[in-house]
Structure 1
């Protein structure tokens, strides 16, 4: 990831960026191959909060909104309120969110292949939307988990609660197919530049099988995930004040600067030059850095 720019984030002006309290925490060793991290975000309520653009990062997240509601815009000024306890699946296009007041979010960030280990539904059904956890785990189980998270005293207790839940679910599920995990690992290690042809060079007959399983367990195709991962690497260079777009394109194995700019705008909605100075990208800048 990956830098995280997903569900439950609040908006804030650049001048108040220091008011954001964002922290990450590492998972238990038995979960570290599936869970990237736990994170929390707290931001005071603001009367003039800006909408924030959320961009794809290749991961799936489970989030608990402990503060005021978060709006997620669908079309122009139309919006929905995000569920208080939800899973945000793979996203392949940017969208806007806006807090209605105080932001307090606790979330679990899963590796691309991680979340499939905890549910029975095809991961592709979660893509590009928020799914209430009661749909995935049943109403009784979900309500119990949500209440425990709400009533917990501090982040340490919340992590203990979610880890007990995940470890129990893990014992009930089989491991993700090795072919999918191997492909994701290859994409991560090469910053998304490896082709499926290269990954399966010893047996190209597995390609159709891989693509079917990949979409089912990851939620998007290998090609889409590779493009998102490559964007992550380019974004980090951009945010580390690398201003030469041709160099960024070359380092991340885009064909040329035009190819880099095209992919960048597809996933973020703005050009590379517009990204850093955009008020709607404050959160993206914070999390990627």
Structure 2
């Protein structure tokens, strides 16, 4: 077994939770890099449970502070800068963009760009350490109880608008009164306006493409045009807006992260080899 364990897994929700939950995921890293990581908006709120060392989050003042070990993360409209503090193990629920309203119990606008402490809400919830399947199953059982108790429901007009935004489809024409009413309901259930959510979806399509190891700048631009950007300056503005840096600066950070991990791996191997020589 390698010294640098790094495992990410996704689990599909059961049918009853599928309208509200997009995916349940687990992550474990025995020796994570402490290099700064940027988390960009993806349009989905999340509920996370840390079984390992909690992450530190950089505040507006530049200071890093520990996140709660159980938190609800609302919509992001700007980058989230974090770093690990030790061995990581966590399980999280990624809700649909409009799927967390009844779970949270109040408007999603109150959670936008915030991480809400959920320790009290999940008191007594203990997912099994070292068991991704068991962690996902435990979360499913807990969420099912929450869904039945609070009778979760959807606003179908809001869901249709979310799906249209994600698929880059036009929405039905409405008069001014209907449009304003839907915008209020949309903000309540999603946490951001429809136009901003569309921008987030568009940026994520390009960002996810750029994150692939084989991508080069030229292919990013092609992906941007395909995603609906008019030109490179427009895409560059969204990189600044949602990532907090330019595409070139982000690529350099990823190179430094990969180099740090590789260096850490080489150090671990060297230490292991030295130990083996001493033992022999």
TM-score normalised to the size of structure 2? 0.82
Residue 163 (str. 1) matches residue 140 (str. 2): yes
Cα distance in structure 2, aligned partners of 1:80 and 1:133:
17
Match of 1:3 in 2: none
Deviations 1:218-246 (A, max 9, x none): 11111111110000111133234153254
The CA distance in 2 between the partners of 1:83 and 1:123, in whole Å, is: 19
**Alpha-carbon distance in 1 for matches of 2:152, 2:8:** 33
Q: Is the 8 A contact 2:22 2:94 kept in 1?
A: yes
- The offset of 1:201, in angstroms, is 1.0
CA distance in 1, matches of 2:163, 2:256: 28
CA distance in structure 2 between the partners assigned to 1:225 and 1:257 by the alignment: 20
* 1:19-75: CA deviation from partner (whole Å, max 9, x where unpaired): 4211111111211222111111111235x6211111111111110110112111103
State how far apart, in whole Å, the 2-side matches of 1:249 and 1:233 are.
8
Partner of 1:222: 194
Map 1:232-251; keep pairs closer than 5 Å. Answer: 232-240=204-212, 241=215, 243-244=217-218, 245-251=220-226
Q: 2:207, 2:134 → 1: CA distance?
A: 34
Q: For residue 106 of structure 1, give the secondary structure of its aligned residue in structure 2.
A: strand
Question: 1:55-204 counterparts in 2 under 5 A?
Answer: 55-75=40-60, 77-134=62-119, 139=120, 142-145=122-125, 148-149=126-127, 151=128, 154-171=131-148, 172-190=150-168, 194=169, 198-204=170-176
Q: State the distance in 2 between where 1:75 and 1:28 align.
A: 38
Give the RMSD, CA atoms, in angstroms. 2.4
Do structure 1's residue 34 and structure 2's residue 11 form an aligned pair? no
Question: Which structure is richer in relative contact order (CA contacts within 8 A, separation 6 or more)?
Answer: 1
Q: Distance in 2 between matches of 1:249 and 1:205?
A: 34
Mapped partners of 2:21, 2:116: distance in 1:
19
Q: Quick check: 1:59–1:90 contact (8 Å CA) kept in 2? A: yes
Give the CA deviation at 1:247: 2.2
Contact 2:25 2:136 in 1 (8 A): no
- Normalising by structure 1, report the TM-score: 0.79
User: Which whole-Å deviations, capped at 9, do the CAs of 1:126-171 have from their partners, x for residues lacking one?
Assistant: 111111125xxxx3x52122xx22x467222222222222122222
Deviates more, 1:162-171 or 1:109-118: 162-171
Structure of greater Rg: 2
Counterparts of 1:91 and 1:104 in 2: how far apart (Å)? 23
1:258 equivalent in alignment to 2:233: yes
> How far apart, in 2, do the equivalents of 1:174 and 1:77 lie?
38
Cα contact 2:109–2:187 (8 A) shared by 1: yes
Q: How many residues align?
A: 252
